[in-house]
Amino acid sequence: MNSTSGTLALGKAEIIRLRRNKRYLFFTLALPIVLYLALSKTAATEGGVSFKVYYLFEMASLGAFSGAFNNNAIRISQERKDGWIRQLRLTCLPANSYVVAKIIATVALTAPQIAIMMLLGRFYGDIQLPIWEWTVIALTIWLGTLIFAALAVAIGYWMNPNSVQPVIMIIFLFFSLFGGLWFPVTGGLRTFAQGTPTYRIVQIGTDVTLHGTVSWIPVSIILIWLVVFVGLATFAVRNAAEAI
């Protein structure tokens, strides 16, 4: 087995494991769907678009980012403590195969969740958008999961299982609450939220819906966060490799 096929096999095993994880499925799929079904019919507007459109982007992002971040950080921390990462380093797999497998599993399993939310918006919420706008919005959310997958790797490699769960809850609540995923933010809180990747990812969805274009500002902010978290993840993995 060569290194590529070995990494893909490890990624497939991660996908199977996550599909059997009821907590993962609840927070990434069930909870966002229930919240959207319950609140999407609200007759209001936000950011120039109807609330049902805005809330769809929020809930799709919430589920995708939760799946990419929460479960991965906890699992990586536990597997590092159990010696699983050390065992993999003794195999013929390349050093980065474990991280790559986690990312493969993340992007593979968040894609159906995002697709389901988009279909709900179209057929339950009766949101009428051109197919290219649906595609851009879904891809933006999907690629945004890489930001939180990278952060999950950094935290999972840095922290032990006893302390990782409260830390990830605080971080995720920070980005979801103050980034406008649970409810629209206004006033001074909106000014603060504009610096978060979560707010900017939802903004791209509303910009595409309203104007048919994407501003360079939200894209730049999202890329900055991605570079920062990938840098943190790379640093954490290299430090852990030296310690193993």
pLDDT of residue 243: 55
Would you say 152 and 68 are in contact if contact means Cβ atoms under 8 Å apart?
A: yes
Mean pLDDT of the chain: 82
pLDDT of residue 14: 66
pLDDT band at residue 221, thresholds of 50, 70 and 90?
very high
**What is the Cα 146 distance to its own chain's centre?**
6
CA-to-CA separations, 223 to 146, 147, 181, in angstroms, rounded: 10, 9, 19
Taking the C-alpha atoms of residue 239 and residue 244, their distance in angstroms, rounded to an integer, is: 9
Who has greater pLDDT, 66 or 46? 66
pLDDT of residue 225: 94
Every domain of the chain and the residues it spans:
3-243
Would you say 40 and 125 are in contact if contact means Cβ atoms under 8 Å apart?
A: yes
Would you say 41 and 77 are in contact if contact means Cβ atoms under 8 Å apart?
A: no
